[in-house]
Chain A
C-alpha cells in the first residue's frame, strides 16, 4: 500500500533556540522576522497567551513584559544547520525523502509493514530525532499527502499519539476529518474557505461528503484534487502543494544517480531557476537559500556524501540569474571529488517576504545591469586585493541596518560561538 509520512518540526525556529536554552522549555518564546519586525515562530505557551502569528512586535510589547516572554531575532544560520541535521537523520529511515520546506518533509513508507509495525517505527523516528537533535517533530502517515498533513496535525495536538498518527482506514479518515477544520486542509485557501462556508461547510468531513462532480464544477481542478486526496486517492504531486514560508524544488535521480559534476550543477541550476520563478509568481523575495545533494543511504557499498549548505543573500532577491549563481557557488563550495553517485538534489528558498515597491525597483531590468556591473567591479577588486575591504564594507553597512537585538549564537556553525560548559 502506498503511504506518505509527513514529518513536521514543531514550532521549528523556537525549538532550535530551545535546544541551546533548555531553561526556556515550558516558557513562552517568540522568534522575530528579519529586522525584529513581526512574530514568525511561537512556542505553545506563547500561542496560549493569544499571541498571533505575524503580529508586529510593537503591538505586543505589553504582553512581552507582563509575561516575561523570551524574544529571539531570527538566526537563520542556526535554523539551517538544525534543519540539515533533522532532514539527514530522517533520510536514514526511508528509501525516499522529499523535503517540502525548511521544517517539513515527506517520507515514503509504502509497503513497510502493518499499522502496528508502522506505529512503532514512526514513534521510534520521532524519539530518535527529538533525542539526537533536540527538535520535537510530529509525524503523520496516510495514503495521500493531504491526509498525511491532517494526520501530522493530530499527532501534534494529542499527546496520546506519542508524536505519530496514522490514518490508513476509511473509519479513521472519517473520524479525523470530522474533527478537522476545512480551512486547515492543504490547498484550501482563505477564498475557498469563505466560499465553502456559504454552503455551511465547516469541517473537512463536510467537504469530503460533497458530490465530487459538484466540487469539480464549483472549485476548478485543484479543489477537486484536494477532494479526491481526502478520499484517500493520491493525485497531488509535491510541486503542486502550496508554498508557504519556503519554496523547495528537488528531484530524485533515476538509476544509479548522477556522478558527473557538470550534470549535477546543471540539475541544481534548473531547480534554482524553478524556485526563482515560483518566488516571482507569488511576488515575493527570499533572503536564505539551502542547496543540497546526497547519495543513497541504502547503498552502503558505495561511498556516501551529504551536501547541505545554507547561504544568506545580503539583499533579498527573486532574480533568476542571481539565485542560480548563488546555488551553484554554494554547491561548489562543498563539492568534493570521490565518484559519489548523487541520488537526490534540490534547492530551498526561505526567509521569504513580499517584494515591496522599493525592493521591486531595485531589481527591475533597468537597474539590474548597473547592479551586476557593481557586483562585478567589487568582485574584481576583491580578486586583486584579496578577500577584503570593499565587499566587507558593503556587507557591514547591511548588517548595521538590520535590527537583530535578540540574536542567539551560531552554536553549530561557528567555533567562536559554540556552547560553553562549566567544568
Chain B
C-alpha cells in the first residue's frame, strides 16, 4: 500500500487516545523516587472526550449539511455533539426529526402559551410550531460544535 492510499483511508476511528498514551508515555519509567499522587489519574495525554462527552451513554455525533444555521456559528461540514438525555431549554440548538430528515434548529419555548417553535438562524425557513400533527421529534440537544478551521 502506498502512502497516499494510507492517508485516504485514515479515519478518526483509527485514533484511540488511550492506547496511544499508554504506549508512548509511561510516567513510571521516567523517574524514581516518590510516585506522583496524580499518577493514578494520569492518562498521559489530554482526552477530548472528557470535555466533549459529558454523558458517554447518551452522546451521539452528527455531521451538518447546509448553512442555514451559519449565523449561530454552525456551518456546512461541522460536527455537532448531541446529548439525548437533556431536556430542551429555550434557546437551545436541537436536532429535530421532521418530514423524514434530521434538521438542526434553534428551539424557542413559550412557557406562557405552553408551546415551542423551531427556528432557523437565517430566517429563510419559517418558524415551525411543534405539535402532535406535524410529527416533529426533538431527537437531542447540541452541546458542542466541532469546527474545522484550516
Contact = CB atoms under 8 A, between A and B. Distances in A.
A65 to B, nearest CB: 21
B84 interface: yes
A131 B137 CA distance: 12
Interface string B23-37: 000100000000000
A336 B43 contact: yes
A377 interface: no
Contacts of B75: 423
A306 B78 CA distance: 29
A interface, by DSSP: helix, strand, loop or mixed?
mixed
A422 B102 contact: yes
B65 to A, nearest CB: 5
Given A85-B58, A336-B21, A419-B62, A388 B1 contact: yes
Point out which of A86, A132, A306 has the most chain B C-beta atoms below 10 A from its C-beta.
A132
A336 B18 contact: yes
Interface residues of B, number: 47
A423 B60 contact: no
Interface in B1-39: 1, 11-13, 16, 18-19, 21-22, 26, 39
Contacts, number: 108
5 contacts: A88-B56, A338-B43, A413-B13, A418-B62, A423-B76
A421 B22 contact: no
Contacts of B132: none
Nearest to A410: B13
A134 B138 CA distance: 11
B104 A23 contact: no
The 3 closest A-B pairs by CB, nearest first: A132-B58, A419-B62, A132-B85
Contacts of B84: 131-134
B1 A338 contact: no
A412 B63 contact: no
